[in-house]
Amino acid sequence: MPSALVSQTLQGAVLSMTSNILAQAISSYRDDKPFALNISPVLKFAIFSIISSPPNIVWQSYLEDLFPTNVPASAPLKEKPAPASKASHTQLSKRNVLIKFLLDQTIGAVVNTLLFLVFMGYVNAPQTAKQGTWNIVGQEVKDKLYPMLKDGYKFWPAVSLTSFLWVPVDKRVVFGCAVGVFWGIYLSLAVGA
């Protein structure tokens, strides 16, 4: 595993843990109870981040490879093409940014939210559940997928667009995780962790 992938994954895990700790502090304050750190959900969020970050890093790289944000600039017709030895100029491809944005906010959003709900539903299901763990997971997905996607569309499109326009591809997942601390607080509160 390349060191950049490991580094980004670990940074994402730390940020995910931070969001869960903050969510626990907010819950304590909201419920007017003394703060007592529950390490179990912190670890669950860290494990989920460790599992989900590498595929997201690959996803971001894949999108950038297929639809680069910056493409070679076309020389005006009157100018001679620059020799290969000179650095070529690039220009923003609005079309590629739009395609990446749409793919990320549809396929990426649904897959990430679904995986989160399945993972958390599975690790939080009581071991003695009469209805079965996978039935609990299914109900969790049924109850929370659409509301989380709907809430996510109030937050993630701006983050995604900012990321595609101004954040280098190798920093996008960590950028998303840093901004996602606030989203992680929401998720922690939403799953009751």
Per-residue pLDDT of the chain (193 residues; tens, 9 = 90+): 588 889 999 999 999 999 999 989 998 998 999 999 999 999 999 999 999 999 999 999 999 999 999 999 875 656 555 555 455 689 999 999 999 999 999 999 999 999 999 999 999 988 776 778 999 999 999 999 999 999 999 889 999 999 999 999 888 888 988 888 888 788 777 766 5
Q: Using CA atoms, how far apart are residues 52 and 157, in angstroms rounded to an integer?
A: 19
CA 124 to chain centre: 21
Closest CA to 1 of 65, 10, 164: 10
In a domain, residue 42? The reply is: yes
Question: How many domains, the chain?
Answer: 1
Closest CA to 37 of 23, 47, 50, 48: 23
Per-chain mean pLDDT for the chain: 88
* DSSP 8-state assignment for residue 108: I
> What's the confidence (pLDDT) of residue 188?
75
Q: What is the pTM of this model?
A: 0.82
In a domain, residue 98? The reply is: yes
In a domain, residue 79? The reply is: no
| C-beta of residue 124 within 8 angstroms of C-beta of residue 99 | no
Q: Which domain holds residue 167?
A: 3-73+84-190
In a domain, residue 62? The reply is: yes
In a domain, residue 18? The reply is: yes
| C-beta of residue 161 within 8 angstroms of C-beta of residue 97 | yes
